[in-house]
């Protein structure tokens, strides 16, 4: 089973012999993020203002700011990325009987 071409293997091996390490160039690949860290911090502040707010009122509030306008789906994806998820309270047994 062949995973890499012989050119790739020889290039990586040569780089390792010359510099003692291999560079990972994959972090330069792919599409750039539209929302920067600053935008995510602003989104976090908007969410913390009203934790019960749903996505439709959050989106216009975010898009009214200085950054570029983004879609509802992008905002939803970034809300998940900054670890804001809805949670249900845990059911626990009562300490005393109900009257």
pLDDT digits (tens, 9 = 90+) for 42-97: 999 999 999 889 999 999 999 998 878 999 999 999 999 988 888 888 899 989 88
Is the model's pTM score more than 0.85? Answer: no
Separation in Å, CA 81 to CA 2, 4, 9, 34, 35: 36, 33, 36, 14, 11
Q: Is there a domain that residue 91 lies in?
A: no
- The CB-side HSE value for 29 (13 A sphere, CA atoms) comes to 3
| Domain carrying residue 72 | 37-82
C-beta atoms surrounding 78 within 10 Å: 19
Does 52 fall in a domain? yes
Kindly state whether residue 76 falls inside one of the protein's structural domains.
yes
Query: What pLDDT does residue 24 have?
Result: 66
Quote the DSSP letter at residue 15.
H
Predicted pLDDT at 18:
84
Other C-beta atoms lying within 10 Å of the C-beta of residue 46: 19
Residue 45 belongs to a domain: yes
pLDDT for the residue 26: 64
* pLDDT at 43 (0 to 100): 94
**Is 90 inside a domain boundary?**
no
What is the domain count for the chain?
1
Per-residue confidence (pLDDT) for residue 44, from 0 to 100: 95
SS3 call for 19: helix
pLDDT at 27: 65
| pLDDT for 98 | 81
């Amino acid at each position: 089973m062949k995973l890499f071409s012989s050119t790739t293997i020889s290039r990586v091996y040569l780089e390792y012999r010359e510099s003692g390490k291999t560079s990972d160039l994959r972090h330069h690949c792919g599409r750039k993020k539209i929302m920067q860290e600053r935008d995510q911090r602003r989104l976090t502040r908007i969410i913390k203002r009203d934790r019960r707010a749903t996505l439709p009122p959050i989106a216009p509030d975010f898009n009214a700011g200085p950054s570029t306008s983004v879609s509802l789906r992008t905002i939803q994806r970034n809300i998940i990325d900054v670890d804001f998820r809805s949670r249900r309270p845990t059911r626990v047994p009562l300490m005393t009987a109900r009257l």
